[in-house]
Amino acid sequence: MNQDKKDFKPKVIAFACHWCGVGKNEINAVEDFPDFKLIKLMCSGRINTALILKAFEKGADGVIAFGCPEGKCHYNFGSSNAAKEYKTAKSLIELLGIEPERLRLELNFFTENGKLDKVINEFVQGIKKVGPSPLRTLIEIEDK
Amino acid sequence: MYRLQTTLEKERIRLRFPRLSPDVHTITRIESSACRVACPAGVQVKAYIGLIVAGKFQEALDLIKKDNPLPGICGRVCTHPCESECNRRKVDEAVAICALKRFVADWELKKEFKKAEPIKRTREEKIAVVGSGPAGLTCANDLIRKGYGITIFEKLPYAGGMLTACIPPYRLPRDIINKEIEDIMDLGVEIKTSTRVGKDISFDDLMRQGYKAFFVAIGAHHGLKLKVPGEDEYEGFIDCVEFLERTNSGDHKKPGRKVIIIGGGNSAIDASRTALRLGCDEVYIVYRRSRKEMPANVSEIEEAEKEGVKIRYLSAPVRILGKNGRVTGMECIKMRLGEPDASGRRRPVPLEGSEFIIEADTIIPAISQKPDITFLPKDHEFKLTKWDTFEVDPVTFATNISGFFAGGDAVSGPSTVIDAITHGHFAAQAIDRYLSHKDLKKRIAPPAEVREWGFRLEIEGEKPIERNPIPKLSIDRRLDSWDEVDLCFTEEQAIAEAKRCLRCGPCIECQECVSGCSRRLVMLSFPHKVTQEIGRVPEFILRVPSDPQKLPYDERSEEVVISWRDEEEKENELNLKLEPITCFVDQDMCRGCGKCEKVCEYKAVTLKPIKDGFIVSEVDEAICKGCGTCVAVCTTGAIKARHFTDKRIELMLESCLDHEQD
C-alpha cells in the first residue's frame, strides 16, 4: 500500500460550468495536471447526485465541480441546484465509505490568473494524502 | 499559410469526444515571416509594418511592445537582423524596418499619451534584478505583468546599463532611454541606483529581505587588454567603456590630440565619433579584418567615415611606442585574410615586413569586454566560463545555483540589445515557472529556427521601389553638438516605406481581427507543431470498441485516427449519437420574433427571410455553443438544443477514467 501511495496518480474528474471562467484557464490547468480530466457542461446545475456517484463508480479518485457563485448563475438557479445535489451526494458517499475530501464544489469566478491552478493543486494534494479511492481498488481486483 | 480551425484540436488532450463541444473558431498560423523568425525576440515585424500602412500607429506600437518593451531604443540602436533576412532584398533593398519601429515610438512621444497604470500585485514573491540594462528591464517588465514585486539594483547612479553608459547621446538621446525606463517604472518596478549588489548589499541580505529569485544581468563592462608589448609601460591608455562612460556622464574632457581606437565593433565606432565631438584632431580606427567583416552597423561605419574618422582596415597593433612615460604612437602590421575560423569569419594573417607607424597620444582599445565579476564574494559557487561569463542553461537561463538566473551580456559576452531583450524574456518565463514550482523547461518555446518556407513568394513582376533614405543631420552641424544624427521619418515617408513590404503570406498577424470581434469569436494561436488538416475539423482520436454492441469498451478496443466525416459513419455504425451540442430551429414553428437573435451571446442566430414574406431564425452551428439561452426565451418552442444527455456524459466519464489508457 505504501508503494502504491508513492507513485499514485489520482484520477480527478472536474465538471466545469461554461460561464465561471474555468473555460478561459482550462488549457493552462490541464497541461499542468495531466491526470485532471475536465468535462465541460453548460452549467453546474446539470450535475446531479447520480452523475457524481457514477464517476466514483467508474473509478475516479476525486470529483470537483466548478460553477458560478450562487445568485450569479447565468441561468439563475443552476448554482443553487448544484449546491443542493452536492449536499446529497456528500452525505451519500460518506455512507458508502468514501472519504468526504474526494468531493468538492467550488462556486466561484475563476477569471483571475492562477486562482484555478491553486484550487486544483490543493484538491489534488488532498487526494494524494488519502490515497486511491476504495472503489478503484475494488474495480482493479474485479478486473484481475 | 493560415487556416480556420476550432479549438477542438486543443481540447482533444482531455476530451475523448471533442465533437460534443463545438467551440470558438481560430485562425492558426502555420509559418512565420522571415523577418519575425530572424528577430531573436520574435517581434511581429510584418504585423506592425502592415499596421503602419493602415495608419494604425498606436496598434503597431502596442504590438511591438508585446515582444519588445524598448521600441524607441531598439528603433535606434538595433542591429536589425530582420532587415538582413527581408525578402524585399531579392527585388531591391530591405524594408527599413528599424527606422519604422523608431517612427512609431517617436510618434507616441509627439502626442499626449496616458501613463500606464501600476500592475496589481497578485503574487507574494519578490524578485531582485541585478543590473538595469535591456535584459534586466525586459525581465522586470515581464515579471511585473505577472504580478510579482520587482526591484532592480543598479551599480551606476543612473539606470539603463550599457544603453546609458556607453551609447553616445547623438545615437540614442537620453530622454528616449529615460522615457522607456519610466514606462516600465510606471508599472510598479522599483529601481535602486547607486546600489552595488555584493558590495553595498549582499545576496544573503536580499534573501533575508524576502527576495525569492535573482536575475543577474550585470552586462560586460570590463574591457579586455590588448596583450601587445608596451601596453602597461606608458600612460595614455583609456579603456573604451571607461572612456564612453566618462563622457556620457558629462565629463567632456579631450582624451588627446591624436587618438587611435582598436577594434571594429559598434563601441569602437561610438568611441571614434565621440572623440571627434570632443575635439580630437585626428581619430583612427585600426581593425584587423576588412570592412566586410566589421561587426559594426554599416550605416554607422559610413557616418563615421563621413565625419572624418580614418579607418585602417587589415591592420593590427604590434607594439606601443612611447617616450618619457607617455604614448607617442603605435606600430601596426598589415594583414591579409586567410581561411575562415570557428566564427565563420576569415582569419587575418600578418604580412611580414609591412609594419607601419601611426602617431598618437591616446590609445583606446575596444576589442571586447567581459563581465566585471568582482561583486561576487571570493568563495562564490557560480559556474563561470573562461571569459568570466555565467554558465547557464540555454533555454531557462538558470545558473547552477537554484533561484539564480543570469542573462544579457553577462552570459553571452558583449552582444546586441535585442539579444539581451530575448534573454530577459526567457529568464522571466523561467523565473515565473520556478516560483510557481513548475517544471522549468516545460512549455518554454525553443528558440525559433529558420525553416524552409511552405509557400512560394511571387517576386517576379514586383517593381523595385527605392528605399526611403533615413534622414540625417547635416555634417557641419554634427561635430560641435551632441544632437541626434539619425532623424525620424515623417508620417508620409513612413507609410511609403512600410508599403514596400512584400507581405510574405496573406495574413499579417496583426491580430486586429481578435480585438475587433466583440463576441470573441476569433482567436489566434501560435502552435509550435504543425498538424495535418483533414476535412472540416482537425483529426482527433476516438476510442472505438472492437465490438460495437458491447459497452463499455474492453481491453481489445483500439485507437484509430479518424476524421470528421469518418466519425459520422462510425457513429452510425456504433449507434452512438455523438452530435455537437448546438441548438437548431424548427422553421415550421418559428414565427420570426427575433428574441433569440437578441439574446445570443455568440451571434450564432440570425433572422433570414424565406418565401411569402416570412422571416425565420437560423442557427449557425459552427458558432453555436449550445448554451441554451435561446431555447429558454423561445416562445413557440421552435428552437431546441441537442443537450447533454445522461448517456453522453456517462460516455465522457468512461473515456476519461478508462484504465487502459495508462
Torsion of CA A96, A102, A107, A108, to 10 degrees: 180
Of residues B439 and B62, which shows the higher confidence score? B62
- What does the pLDDT read at residue B573? 52
A128 Cα to chain B: minimum distance (Å): 17
Work out the number of other CB atoms within 10 angstroms of the CB of residue B421. 29
Secondary structure of residue B270 in the 3-state scheme = helix
- What does the pLDDT read at residue A135? 82
Q: For B246-274, what is the mean pLDDT? A: 85
Q: Mutating which of A37, A68, A113 best tests the B interface, going by the most B Cβ atoms within 10 A?
A: A37
Secondary structure of residue B220 in the 3-state scheme = coil
Q: For B5-23, what is the mean pLDDT? A: 40
Question: Among the listed ranges B51-60, B349-358, B519-528, which one has the minimum average pLDDT value?
Answer: B519-528
Residue from the list A18, A46, A113 with its beta carbon closest to the beta carbon of B122: A113
Chain A residues with at least one Cβ partner in B under 8 Å: 9, 11, 13, 18, 27, 30-32, 36-42, 46, 50-51, 54-55, 58-60, 74-75, 112-114, 117, 139-140, 143
pLDDT band of B579, cuts 50, 70, 90: low
B205 Cα to chain A: minimum distance (Å): 29
Average pLDDT taken over every residue of chain B: 76
Do B180 and B138 form a contact (C-beta atoms < 8 A)? Answer: no
Between strands B326-340 and B356-359, the pairing is: antiparallel
Using the predicted structure, report yes or no on whether residue B661 has a pLDDT greater than 60.
no
Work out the number of other CB atoms within 10 angstroms of the CB of residue B610. 12
Between strands B258-262 and B404-406, the pairing is: unpaired
pTM: 0.67
Give the cell for residue B208. 533575508
Measured between beta carbons, the chain A residues lying within 8 angstroms of B652 are 39
Pick the residue from chain B with its C-alpha nearest to A117.
B436
Using the predicted structure, report yes or no on whether residue B533 has a pLDDT greater than 70.
no
Amino acid at B7: T
Q: Is the dihedral of CA B157, B158, B159, B163 positive or negative?
A: negative
pLDDT in tens, B69-88: 888 888 888 888 888 888 88
Measured between beta carbons, the chain A residues lying within 8 angstroms of B627 are 18, 42, 74
Measured between beta carbons, the chain B residues lying within 8 angstroms of A143 are 659
Measured between beta carbons, the chain A residues lying within 8 angstroms of B15 are 38-40
pLDDT band of B8, cuts 50, 70, 90: very low
Measured between beta carbons, the chain B residues lying within 8 angstroms of A36 are 14
Of residues B159 and B461, which shows the higher confidence score? B159
Residue from the list B13, B443, B626 with its beta carbon closest to the beta carbon of A42: B626
Using the predicted structure, report yes or no on whether residue B138 has a pLDDT greater than 70.
yes
- What does the pLDDT read at residue B581? 65
Give the cell for residue B578. 455523438
Between strands B369-370 and A103-107, the pairing is: unpaired
pLDDT band of B201, cuts 50, 70, 90: confident
A21 Cα to chain B: minimum distance (Å): 14
Beta-carbon pairs below 8 A across chains A and B: 68
Pairwise CA distance, residues B335 & B355, whole Å? 10
pLDDT band of A29, cuts 50, 70, 90: low
- Contact assignment for A59 to B657 by CB distance below 8 Å: yes
Q: Tell me the residue length of chain A.
A: 144
- What does the pLDDT read at residue A89? 92
- Contact assignment for B657 to A140 by CB distance below 8 Å: no
- Contact assignment for A40 to B438 by CB distance below 8 Å: no
Question: Which residues lie closer than 8 Å to B309 by C-beta, 6 or more apart?
Answer: B269, B272, B273, B276, B283, B284, B285
Measured between beta carbons, the chain B residues lying within 8 angstroms of A31 are 13, 443
What residues are paired with B259 via a beta bridge? B283, B362
- What does the pLDDT read at residue B448? 46
pLDDT in tens, B322-381: 888 888 888 888 888 888 877 777 888 888 888 888 888 888 888 888 888 888 888 888
- What does the pLDDT read at residue B172? 86
| Residue given cell 527605392 in the structure block | B466
pLDDT band of A5, cuts 50, 70, 90: low
- Contact assignment for B657 to A54 by CB distance below 8 Å: no
Question: Among the listed ranges B100-109, B186-195, B568-577, B653-662, which one has the minimum average pLDDT value?
Answer: B568-577
Residue B471 DSSP class: P
Q: Which of B182-191, B376-385, B543-552 has the highest mean pLDDT?
A: B182-191
B294 Cα to chain A: minimum distance (Å): 46
The runs of H, that is alpha helices, within A11-130 are 22-32, 49-57, 78-96, 115-130
Residue from the list B625, B629, B656 with its beta carbon closest to the beta carbon of A39: B656
Measured between beta carbons, the chain B residues lying within 8 angstroms of A14 are none
Nearest residue to B161 via CA among B408, B419, B373? B408
B452 Cα to chain A: minimum distance (Å): 30
Do B280 and B258 form a contact (C-beta atoms < 8 A)? Answer: yes
A96 Cα to chain B: minimum distance (Å): 20
Q: Write the CA distances from B459 to B462, B495, B631, B632, integer angstroms.
A: 5, 21, 54, 56
What residues are paired with B323 via a beta bridge? B326
Residue from the list B21, B146, B653 with its beta carbon closest to the beta carbon of A58: B653
Work out the number of other CB atoms within 10 angstroms of the CB of residue B328. 16
Give the cell for residue B46. 510584418
A46 Cα to chain B: minimum distance (Å): 8
Using the predicted structure, report yes or no on whether residue B26 has a pLDDT greater than 60.
no
Give the cell for residue A129. 494524502
Between strands B326-340 and B346-350, the pairing is: antiparallel
Pick the residue from chain A with its C-alpha nearest to B520.
A24
- Contact assignment for A42 to B649 by CB distance below 8 Å: no
Pairwise CA distance, residues B13 & B327, whole Å? 71
Respond yes or no on whether the N-terminal peptide bond of residue B552 is cis (omega within 30° of 0). yes
Pick the residue from chain A with its C-alpha nearest to B645.
A46
- What does the pLDDT read at residue B358? 86
- What does the pLDDT read at residue A63? 92
Above pLDDT 70, what percent of chain B?
78
Measured between beta carbons, the chain A residues lying within 8 angstroms of B581 are 42
Give the cell for residue A73. 448563475
Q: For A72-100, what is the mean pLDDT? A: 87
- What does the pLDDT read at residue B459? 67
What residues are paired with A103 via a beta bridge? A63
A38 Cα to chain B: minimum distance (Å): 7
Using the predicted structure, report yes or no on whether residue B660 has a pLDDT greater than 50.
no
- Contact assignment for A31 to B443 by CB distance below 8 Å: yes
Q: Mutating which of B523, B625, B653 best tests the A interface, going by the most A Cβ atoms within 10 A?
A: B653
Question: Which residues lie closer than 8 Å to B433 by C-beta, 6 or more apart?
Answer: B439, B440, B442, B443, B444
pLDDT in tens, B261-305: 888 888 888 888 888 888 888 888 888 888 888 888 888 888 888
Pairwise CA distance, residues B558 & B140, whole Å? 50
Q: Mutating which of B9, B649, B652, B661 best tests the A interface, going by the most A Cβ atoms within 10 A?
A: B649
What residues are paired with B369 via a beta bridge? B223
Question: Among the listed ranges A85-94, B432-441, B534-543, which one has the minimum average pLDDT value?
Answer: B534-543
pLDDT band of A103, cuts 50, 70, 90: very high
Do B375 and B198 form a contact (C-beta atoms < 8 A)? Answer: yes
Pairwise CA distance, residues B622 & B30, whole Å? 22
A55 Cα to chain B: minimum distance (Å): 6
Do B49 and B63 form a contact (C-beta atoms < 8 A)? Answer: no
Measured between beta carbons, the chain A residues lying within 8 angstroms of B626 are 42
Q: Mutating which of A39, A61, A112 best tests the B interface, going by the most B Cβ atoms within 10 A?
A: A39
Pick the residue from chain A with its C-alpha nearest to B8.
A27
Do B36 and B44 form a contact (C-beta atoms < 8 A)? Answer: yes
> ∠ at Cα B53 (B48, B54), nearest 5°?
95
Pairwise CA distance, residues B562 & B538, whole Å? 9
Measured between beta carbons, the chain B residues lying within 8 angstroms of A58 are 653-654, 657
Pairwise CA distance, residues B560 & B417, whole Å? 50
Q: For B447-464, what is the mean pLDDT? A: 58
- Contact assignment for B15 to A60 by CB distance below 8 Å: no
